[in-house]
Amino acid sequence: MRVVSLVEQLFFLIEKHKQPMHVGGLFLFDIPTSAKPDFVTDLVRQIRNGETPPTFPFNQVLHNLTFWKTTEHFDLHYHFHHTVLSKPHSFQALLSYVSDVHANMLDKKYPLWECHIIEGIDDASTTSETEPKRFALYFKIHHSLVDGVAAMRIVEKSLSNSSTEVMTLPPWALLSRDEKNLKNIAPNKRTFSGIVKEQIGTIKPVFGELKNELKERKEPGFVSTIQAPTSPLNQRISNSRAFFATTYALSRFQKIAEILQVSLNDVALAICSGALRSYLLQLEQLPEEPLIAFVPVSLRKDDSASGNQASLVLCNLATNVDDPIERIKAIHASMTMGKDKFGRMEQAQVINYSAISYAWEGVNLLTNAYPKKQAFNILISNVPGPKEPLYWNGATLSALYPASVVFNGQALNITFSSYLDKLHFGIVGCDKTLPNLEYLTEALDTELLKLEMICNLA
């Protein structure tokens, strides 16, 4: 058994019916042109007829909210679902299906994940005969089991680098094709004395950074936990979800980053910032002060793919500024300061520093006392994805869209992930709290084009 960590406990403590704490991914696969018409049917039949049990972390069940136990019990009917969307088929129908499934809470009596294979995602009337037929895989897993980087590593290790490899195992056991995968993703074993020694060692550097923070308050990139303004994004939510997805060529972001001498992540954050500014202007509710984003930063220094090893940087999105270049400068300054700070600390030190710095926000999440007053206005995540093409029984993975969490006081989440030469954005929001969320994908297009025009790329 493995003890549930404090971070993992937090996910369970704040979880409610209307704010489930799982993350998900929507994966699109192109069916090989040489495949038989019943390619997906065969794939589903193979999964249903198989008797291979789940491997780590899909065989972990929560015990008394205290330990993770490996279970031998596996209910295929609970975990696996096959759906054929009703006509007219469309990508929007797929997003609506994912929206509904993503809103449902996972049952803690079972291992905390679900797998959905979805057919009927293409409209024959608008799809060319030369375009490959597609199917989708939507997979969700509790955030206590994995963070974004861990989830992406599981995907990368589960699928194949070969278009000709035939895989007879279900998605939740694909890691067992190579024993090295299972060893690499397992969490490192730690002794109680080692943990105590590590925690004692964090005291001096953590308080040193807290003291140093007092000096940094005058620097342009500094963001405090009390400066996020009240905004429409920070309201109580319902259990309704809306999921939207859009894709861009990665080169568009790379060219802008090179010209402006910022990171690709800075460019993506600037695009999100501009889109949020435009969205709130449309609602006539743009705050006078800049929105503040919480941006996860991975702390992993190994190949593990379990648990949560991330902290968060507060980023000034400069949404109160009309000039896109001034916005991206502010974003770059915030992210640079946050990353430099974490770069000076070890993983345990970063976690303890964050626990102290964001303590009141943690209390707010647990109590929901002040949903409109948050330490940040929105979570925006960047999850680097595979750089090599991946396949499932010859079907090519063509897109992957992350779907993350929202909760009381945080009604919107934007997560983007790279794969090959594309950047895929997944937007999750409470559509009963925030109207017209579909506008955000259009606004992202507009903001990217604005930066390209400024950089003479359009």
Residues labelled catalytic: 143
Q: What is the rounded CA–CA span in Å between residue 374 and residue 448? A: 28
β-sheet with 2-3: strand ranges across: 2-3, 67-70, 60-63
Tell me the C-alpha distance between 323 and 116, whole Å.
43
Q: Parallel, antiparallel, or unpaired for β 422-429 and 242-249?
A: antiparallel
Q: First vs last Cα of the chain: how many Å apart?
A: 56
Instruction: Please identify which residue in the block is written with the tokens 């992957």.
Output: 400
Q: Helix, strand, coil shares of the chain as percentages rounded to 5?
A: 40, 20, 40
Q: Residue 43 — φ and ψ, nearest 5°? A: -65, -45
Alpha carbon distances (Å) from 214 to 208, 209, 292, 344: 10, 9, 19, 16
What would the DSSP string read from start to end of 183-246?
A: HHHSPPP--HHHHHHHHHHHHHHHHHHHHHHHHHTTSTT---TT-PPP-TTSS---S--EEEEE
Q: Please state, as a whole number, how many other Cβ atoms lie within 10 Å of the Cβ of residue 31.
A: 19
Is-contact 370 415, C-beta < 8 A?
A: no
Two tokens, residue 398: 């063509």
> What tokens appear for 133 in the block?
């037929």
Three-state DSSP class for residue 341: helix
Q: 439-443: long-range contacts (C-beta < 8 A, 24 or more apart)?
A: 439/278, 439/279, 439/282, 440/244, 440/275, 440/276, 440/279, 440/414, 441/244, 441/245, 441/246, 443/274, 443/275, 443/276, 443/278, 443/279
